[in-house]
Amino acid sequence: MNDINFRASEGEFIFLTGPSGAGKTTLLRLIFGSEKPSSGHIVINGVNLSRISRRKLDLLRRKMGFIFQDFKLLPRKTVFENVALALEIKGETRRFIRKKTHQSLRMVGLADKEKAYPLSLSGGEQQRVAIARAIVNDPLILLADEPTGNLDPDLTKEIIMLFRRVHAKGTTILVATHSQELLRTPAERTIVLNHGKIVTEK
Amino acid sequence: MKFGQLPYLLRQGLLNIINNRVVHLIGIVTMVVSMLIFGTFLILFVNLNTWLHGIGSSLSMSVYLQDEISEQNKNNIKDFLSELPNVEIKRFISKETALKELKRSLRTHSDLLGGLSSNPLPASFELVFKKIKDQKIQPQKIKEEILKMEGVEDVQYSDEWLKRLEVIMNTVELIGFIIAGLLCMGILLIVTNTIKLTIYSRKEEIEIMKLVGATDWFIKIPFLIEGTLQGILSGILALAILFSGYILISSKNMGILAFALLDFTFLPQEYLFLIFFISTALGFIGSFIATGRFISIERFFSV
């Protein structure tokens, strides 16, 4: 990727689109600190990612949520445990963890499924668990990489509605997708990538 | 890291063991066997050492006196000998007694001595060594000191035998160290690989934990707990088996050992602690090495 320059303000809802291999995933990984840019800077919430220590990055990630096409849930843990994990690692108290996890699961409409195991759920439900995990920390930024890639159109709508609700709470959202279904929904901003460059912005 | 996270991390460590029980079982069995070899060697060494020291302390020394010794010098020697810390005078053998004893030991051939016009045997003091705790008996040094006395003809003790004993003990000790070293390396390898296997089996989980912002230590500590627990368990098991084995053998073979007038003892407390400590330490170090490779694993996970 080169010559990428953009600024997302707090509370924006941005679509990132373009053909496969355009660099959507790479851009998200750069923002998430999984990859370091060979040149240039990425500044998140006032922190420069190219000069950050491993530990600081870990702490910064607690303010970001990441959602994947393949959900990345732990099959041997229950829905509750999967969501609670993001709080366990912060060393929150048991009571706080229970409260926040319930809240988050209610938000995605899965309050009654907390004892279920991910593999017993449908694809849409699994993605909602993943979203619950991503938002349980009240993140500043929510990154989603093809969140509806494995889901049919009906479920896609459901997921996008969820994003809107999260967005309404003030979270900045960045969704990488080439789903037409998703792109038809109104967004504040759409960035189109091709061959590692920003082609258009609207 | 907060202290309140410890219960969670402990539970994760235990869960790791339960989830990877087959790997851990193999690891623990191998560790126990290694610690058993080490422990058995220690028992043999400790007992051999006591036995040999027993033999060493039952050594006697003879101080031969000149024929023309004055009563004064003889008393001087006697006083000097009785003041030596490791030495006890067993008896004084006069020239006459010496001859009588020789005759008695020759029995039917005692008439061989009939041709003697005078008694050729010297008078002597017979000494025995007492063992004083934590103090090595140095017969050579004692001999040199006695020889300086006036009126002493010669001093004899079974020097060669003692020296050979010491060489044997030193060799045994060296072999013990080499075996122990090799076993420790083996155990370390086992623990490291066991923990590495469980790390790989939890690869997915570690990846997700990194995604939600877990610090390296948060991820490492359950594995360290896991390895240390493996060490503790192996240590306890090895000691238990060692003790049962000791009870079994000592009750069956007591006859033979008692006949040889030897005590067969179990390991002293400090050696028991040593075995337990080594086992635990190896568990911890092994898992530390395994988690230390996280740096490369992290790249591999690319999160």
| Residue B206 with chain A: CB contacts under 8 Å | none
> Does B262 reside within a domain?
yes
Task: Name the domain count of chain B.
Answer: 2
* B62 and B185 inside one domain: no
Assess whether pLDDT exceeds 50 at residue B297. Answer: no
> Does B240 reside within a domain?
yes
Q: How far apart are CA B236 and CA B272, in angstroms?
A: 10
**Residue A117, min C-alpha distance to chain B (Å):** 15
Assess whether pLDDT exceeds 60 at residue A200. Answer: yes
What is the value of pTM for the model shown? Answer: 0.71
> Does B134 reside within a domain?
yes
Q: Which of B212, B217, B295, B299 to mutate to test the interface with A (most CBs of A within 10 A)?
A: B212
Return the number of other C-beta atoms located less than 10 Å from residue A145's C-beta: 21
> Does B105 reside within a domain?
yes
Nearest CA in chain B to A66: B211
A57, A155, B3, B213 from A123: Cα distances, Å:
30, 9, 37, 25
* B47 and B62 inside one domain: no
CB contact under 8 A, B208 and A76: no
> Does B140 reside within a domain?
yes
Which of B179, B182, B185, B178 lies closest to B286 in space, CA to CA?
B185
* B84 and B72 inside one domain: yes
**Residue A158, min C-alpha distance to chain B (Å):** 24
Nearest CA in chain A to B300: A34
* B173 and B227 inside one domain: yes
> Does B299 reside within a domain?
no
> Does B260 reside within a domain?
yes
Report yes or no: A67 and A184 within 8 Å, Cβ to Cβ. Answer: no
Mean pLDDT of A34-46: 86
Which of B138, B157, B176 is the C-terminal boundary of a domain? B157
Residue whose token pair is 């994990």: A85
Which of B139, B157, B175 is the C-terminal boundary of a domain? B157
| Residue B205 with chain A: CB contacts under 8 Å | 74
Q: Is B91 exposed, middle or buried (0-12, 13-18, 19+ CB in 10 A)?
A: exposed
- Which 3 state secondary structure label does DSSP give B279? helix
In this structure, are strands A141-145 and A64-67 parallel, antiparallel, or unpaired?
Answer: parallel
Mean pLDDT of B233-256: 83
- Which 3 state secondary structure label does DSSP give A64? strand
What's the mean pLDDT when you consider all of chain A?
87
* B254 and B266 inside one domain: yes
* B216 and B286 inside one domain: yes
Q: How far apart are CA A57 and CA A32, in angstroms?
A: 9
Q: How far apart are CA A60 and CA A32, in angstroms?
A: 9
* B18 and B143 inside one domain: no
B122-144 pLDDT tens trace: 888 888 776 655 566 677 777 88
* B134 and B168 inside one domain: no
CB contact under 8 A, A74 and B216: no
B76-86 pLDDT tens trace: 888 888 888 77
Assess whether pLDDT exceeds 70 at residue B231. Answer: yes
Q: How far apart are CA B190 and CA A129, in angstroms?
A: 39
B160 or B266: whose pLDDT is higher?
A: B266
* B46 and B193 inside one domain: yes
CATH number (domain holding residue B69): 3.30.70.3040
A2-22 pLDDT tens trace: 888 888 888 889 988 888 888
Which of B166, B174, B179 lies closest to B49 in space, CA to CA?
B166
* B21 and B89 inside one domain: no
* B86 and B110 inside one domain: yes
> Does B283 reside within a domain?
yes
**B152-157 β-sheet, strand order:** B87-93, B124-129, B60-65, B152-157
The whole-number pLDDT of residue B300 equals 45
Q: How far apart are CA B219 and CA B230, in angstroms?
A: 18
* B103 and B151 inside one domain: yes
Which of B128, B157, B186 is the C-terminal boundary of a domain? B157
Q: What are phi and psi of A14, to 5 degrees?
A: -120, 135
DSSP state of A19: S
Mean pLDDT of B48-58: 69
Range(s) of the domain holding residue B143: 58-157
